[in-house]
A and B are shown apart, each in its own frame.
Chain A
Amino acid sequence: MSDPVLLINVILLMIAVGAAIAAMWTRDLLGAVMLMGIYSLLLAVEWANLFAMDVSYTEAAVGAGAATILLLTALTRTGTREKAGPNFHPTALLTVIVTGAMLIYGTADMPRFGDPQAPATVNVAPEYIAQNVGKVDAGEDGPENDFGDHVPNAVTAVLASYRGYDTMFETAVIFTAGVCVILILRPLSPSARRETAQSQEGA
């Protein structure tokens, strides 16, 4: 425990696991949503600690921000107490244990954390870091530019240029999700509303 960064990482992960367990345990759904927000925020700090700034941003904005707000909005419609029932589900526990065991078994083959000889760091990563990806060859006597022929953030260079198709279809997927929400939760048309009212009166 001489490494302070490692110590901070371990403490953060322990609090995150604690928050996750508490979120499962509590019967107060409002508290559970808040605990999940805390869990996401802690993970965001953890990502920042591992120098994954873009992932950290996304985790903080989506996990701690948007997802929490969506769940809270849903809670205003459902009520904040969980239905009484058994707190222990053997099938769920078994599924989680089996999946977890498989994941841990899978990590056994993975290289050590920060290993300079890991396949991920020797094959394509140098290309990304040298920023040859998304680099534009302006030629020998090409015009000067501010960026030295590449975009400074390697992550954006990969996402927006090298994998432009990928990001385009991701955007299309998000758009489709928005359209689906509009179609499913749209207000009823006046005639449909009248029919619903009539059927309720009849029943």
Chain B
Amino acid sequence: MSDSVVLRTIGGMLFPYILVYGLYVQMHGEIGPGGGFQAGVLVAAAFILHALLFGKELTDRLLPTWLVDLAMSLGVLLYIGVGILGLVKGRYFLDYSVLDPTHPAHAEALGMTLVEAGVGLTVASVILTMVRKVNGESS
């Protein structure tokens, strides 16, 4: 936790913008540069900054450990789930066209968005978990 008023004020102002930028990179990944991985790191960085400035306890209340653990597995499940949906619908694994059979190109974009959301969830929560654990939750 930082004692500096300047750091805490500026950091508090930056925090929502970093989150929004992370979401932008996430949602815009198939149009501009970026994607799930980069977005995940950005979102994790926003919460790490929050923890550095306002203390671990407040961030833990904002984003409890069980939620981060859940998001970590949900991301991978979302990715694999999209793949298995293709099998269930009688097509190939990870065949995005099953998401919208009448509109394959939109299905492709939707599939990529879902898959990238899975990557983003996992990456953000894994990096957050790593920093939290190394930072010593146990002690």
| Chain A residues close to B by CB (< 8 Å) | 53-54, 56-58, 61-62, 65-66, 69-70, 73-74, 76-77, 134, 136-138, 142-143, 145, 147, 149-153, 155-157, 159-161, 164-165, 167-168, 170-172, 174-175, 177-179, 181-182, 185-188
B108 near A185 with CB under 8 A, answer no
| Chain B residues close to A by CB (< 8 Å) | 25, 29-35, 37-38, 41-42, 44-45, 48, 69, 72-73, 75-76, 79-80, 83, 94, 96-97, 102-109, 111-112, 115-116, 118-119, 122-123, 125-127, 129-131, 133-138
Minimum distance in angstroms from B72 CB to a CB of chain A: 5
Minimum distance in angstroms from A138 CB to a CB of chain B: 6
Taking CB atoms, residues of chain A closer than 8 Å to B131 are 69-70, 73
B119 near A167 with CB under 8 A, answer yes
A54-B33, A143-B102, A143-B103 known; A66 vs B44 contact (CB < 8 Å): yes
A182 near B133 with CB under 8 A, answer yes
B75 and chain A: residue at smallest CB distance: A171
User: From DSSP, what is the main secondary structure of chain A's interface residues?
Assistant: helix
The one of B107, B108, B122 in contact with A174, judged by C-beta atoms closer than 8 angstroms, is B122
The one of A56, A70, A186 in contact with B134, judged by C-beta atoms closer than 8 angstroms, is A70
The one of B33, B48, B105, B136 in contact with A147, judged by C-beta atoms closer than 8 angstroms, is B105
Q: Please give 15 more A-B residue pairs, beta carbons under 8 A apart, in addition to A73-B135, A77-B134.
A: A54-B34, A56-B33, A62-B41, A69-B131, A136-B97, A136-B107, A145-B105, A150-B108, A151-B109, A156-B116, A160-B30, A161-B96, A167-B79, A171-B76, A182-B129
A153 near B31 with CB under 8 A, answer yes
A61-B42, A145-B105, A160-B30 known; A186 vs B138 contact (CB < 8 Å): yes
A177 near B126 with CB under 8 A, answer yes
B105 near A156 with CB under 8 A, answer no
